Amino acid sequence: MGAWCRRRDHRGGARTAVTPPEAAAFIDIADARATRSLTGTAGEEIVWRRFGHGPPLVLLHGGFGSWLHWLPVVALLEPHFQLMIPDMPGFGGSAPIPVGTTPGRLAEQLAAGLDALLPSGSRLDLAGFSFGGLVATHLAKRLDGRVGTLALVAGGGLGAERDPVDLRGRRPDMSEDERREVAAHNLRAFMIADATRVDALAVEIQQRNTSRRPGLVSRDFSRSRTALALLPELDARVAAIWGTQDPTVGGRLADRRRAVEAAARSAMTAELPGCGHWIMQERPAELAAFLIDAMKPDQPAGQKGWNT
């Protein structure tokens, strides 16, 4: 996998602090390693990054995000899968989207992109983080019969209840250090429960992700119950995981787990004690192990946590 990923491999245990320039260089090196593809017609282009070889696993980022939400687990997952990580339409480096675009429309564009990148009828697995979980659920519905497992990582669209969060905004007159402190504060307030995980790399990713305002207010969609309503219609197995300190579920995690288990035809749910919302950054090794187990093609319902 090369030297670029060694720093990430140990992030489930001891950590090495990095400076902002080192964090920026790490992202650029990882980006250079990716196989990049463009799909979509003029004005609707989607940027995809692919890592590794094996069965396709599509990873969808969260709101105010990009492919970088998944960077902390790329090195852990790429030996097992062909990772296909888009900047969803309207996010990151992909083309802007019109006002009024819905998660269902994003799923339609992503499905067309997958059809362009994979052989016709290819089976695949999906994982969506936060708002990306809602889009992934729409995508699983659109790819009827082709999805083995849908993984919802702190997934959106499963209910509106959440704790209030103290987020700060940036001002044009702020220095770079002040902007980094705002990003670090917002990560601690909303994304990461363990403050030691708010390192230079997390701050750099947060700054890059929030430098572009997306074309839709993902928060409103994430607070809906749309994904929950779609789960009974899916043939795919559903694997869902949350951190117990995730403010998007607050003290209602047990209710959220029961709702997913009741709605899905085949469900596996888990929680990570003490973990916040951005599980990939805070507990990468545990999340990678959960996803690898969930995506096993011979994983039968009724075993190892699967509930039907």
Q: pLDDT value at position 200?
A: 96
Strands 46-51 and 82-87: antiparallel
CA 261 to chain centre: 21
Q: pLDDT value at position 176?
A: 84
Rounded to whole angstroms, the Cα distance separating 228 from 252 reads 15
Unique residue bearing structure tokens 């009741």: 262
Rounded to whole angstroms, the Cα distance separating 84 from 51 reads 7
Rounded to whole angstroms, the Cα distance separating 211 from 291 reads 29
Q: Which amino acid is at 205?
A: I
Rounded to whole angstroms, the Cα distance separating 291 from 244 reads 18
Do 126 and 155 touch, CB atoms closer than 8 A?
Answer: no
Q: pLDDT value at position 302?
A: 40
- Whole-Å CA distances, 90 to 109, 215, 221, 305: 11, 5, 15, 36
Q: pLDDT value at position 125?
A: 98
Beta-carbon neighbour count of residue 167 at 10 Å?
A: 10
CA 227 to chain centre: 15
Rounded to whole angstroms, the Cα distance separating 5 from 10 reads 9
Instruction: Render each residue's pLDDT in the chain as its tens digit; 308 residues.
Output: 343 443 444 344 334 558 999 999 999 999 999 999 999 999 999 999 999 999 999 999 999 899 999 999 999 999 999 999 999 999 999 999 998 899 999 999 999 999 999 999 999 999 999 999 999 999 999 998 999 999 999 999 998 666 677 777 777 878 888 889 999 999 999 999 999 999 999 999 999 998 877 666 656 766 778 999 999 999 999 999 999 999 999 889 999 999 999 999 999 999 999 999 999 999 999 999 999 999 997 665 443 344 43
Rounded to whole angstroms, the Cα distance separating 110 from 214 reads 16
CA atoms within a 13 Å half-sphere pointing along the CA-CB vector of 92: 24
Q: pLDDT value at position 205?
A: 97
Specify the DSSP class assigned to residue 231. Answer: G
Domain boundaries, the chain: 3-294
Fold of 3-294: Rossmann fold (3.40.50)
Closest to 238 in 3D by CA, of 109, 128, 110:
128
**pTM of the predicted model as reported, rounded to 2 decimal places:** 0.91
